[in-house]
Amino acid sequence: MLISCEPRSSCPNCGSSGELAVTGARDPDRHLEGDWSFHRCYSCGIFWLDPAPLPHEMWKAYVTYHTHSQKLDGRLRRLMLSLAHRFIRLTWLPSAIASGLKCEADGLRFMTLETEKSGRLLDVGCGGGRFLKRMQKRGWQVVGTDFDLQAARKVSARYGIETHVGDLQHCNLPASSFDVITLSQTIEHLYTPIATLRECLRLMKPGGLLVMTTPNAASLGAKKFGSSWRGWEAPRHLQLFTVQSLKTLTQQAGFAVEEARTISSGSAVVYRASRDIADGSSGSLWHRFQTMSWGYEMELQEQRKQLTQPLSGQNILIRARKP
């Protein structure tokens, strides 16, 4: 499918020029034709997509997205891969516990909110709504937003959770009404991240907590795979960040950043997807089994390397407060 794009010659955040960082990035779902580049801003350090889809064309990029598409693999193949995945995870579990990856993964299931007092929670980019349902069971009053109409409708129909469709700043939610706002793998999809962060600040009660995760453009995986790194996700990812660039952006929006670091939990899937992109095929069942095992080994290696190469993990975690 073709998607109409426009060039973006300067940083969408600060308007500065930048250097070409990556070229030849393609849609990892192989649904959209063409290739894209990312530039890195000389001033604020953000990576931006060039060219970028026109806003009214962006829906085409989500036709095959996981929130409302079906897997193409046959039922037997999916079953065999699921059993293989469970076996690999069981054999990997002792290493995950010893390295701290299991603890990190458990924390991410709740977006690091395990010790926070329950209150009103807004999840921006709620996708399939499983996180909201999880938090609702723990006593939180939850609300979700997503620009994907189909995804938002599914969350409301399946879980009975209040959802709003569209950019956060157009949802007209009341000011100072949330204790916590989360953006899990969301900010990279936005045309104007700073505008969304400022709206988050408006919607929060004083002392409210913002928690974000997003792919790390300075990760070991990004350096290893170049344009084949799954984290580029062209053209759905419009901006990507390093720890410092996202920390700075969050502070510019008015937040006080309490924590800014990288995490490796979950990077196994990115490693194996990146390898598939680089190879041009997902391969046979045996190949998939080998790639799964390799992905978990790479996740462990990445976790260990962060001891000597800090801020090199697959994802960025930001926790910040409204003053």
Domain layout of the chain by residue ranges: 110-264+306-321
- The domain made up of 110-264+306-321 has a fold known as Rossmann fold (3.40.50)
Q: Which amino acid type is present at position 29? A: D
The token duo for 141 is 């009053």
How high is the pLDDT of residue 148?
85
pTM of the model: 0.93
Report the alpha-carbon distance of residue 264 to residue 267 in Å, rounded.
6
Task: List beta partners, residue 256.
Answer: 321
Question: Which pLDDT does position 63 carry in this prediction?
Answer: 80
In sequence order, what are the residues at sequence separation of 6 or more whose Cβ sits closer than 8 angstroms to the Cβ of residue 301?
Answer: none
Tens-binned pLDDT, residue by residue, of the chain (323 aa): 899 999 999 999 999 999 999 999 999 888 898 899 999 999 999 999 999 999 999 888 888 776 555 554 567 767 777 787 787 888 888 989 999 999 999 999 999 999 999 999 999 999 999 999 999 999 999 999 998 888 889 999 999 999 999 999 999 999 999 999 999 999 999 999 999 999 999 999 999 999 999 999 999 999 999 999 999 999 999 999 999 999 999 999 999 999 999 999 999 999 999 999 998 866 677 777 888 899 999 999 999 999 999 999 999 999 999 99
- The strand ranges marked E within the chain are 5-6, 18-25, 36-41, 47-50, 52-53, 120-124, 141-146, 162-165, 178-184, 204-215, 239-240, 256-263, 315-321
Can you give the pLDDT at residue 192?
Answer: 94
DSSP state of 174: P
Whether 272 and 299 have beta carbons less than 8 Å apart is answered as no
The residues, any chain, with a CB within 8 Å of residue 304's CB and separated by 6 or more, are 99
Tell me how far apart the alpha carbons of residues 292 and 287 are, in angstroms, rounded to a whole number.
9
Strand 36-41 versus strand 18-25 pairing type: antiparallel
pLDDT given for residue 115 in this prediction? 93
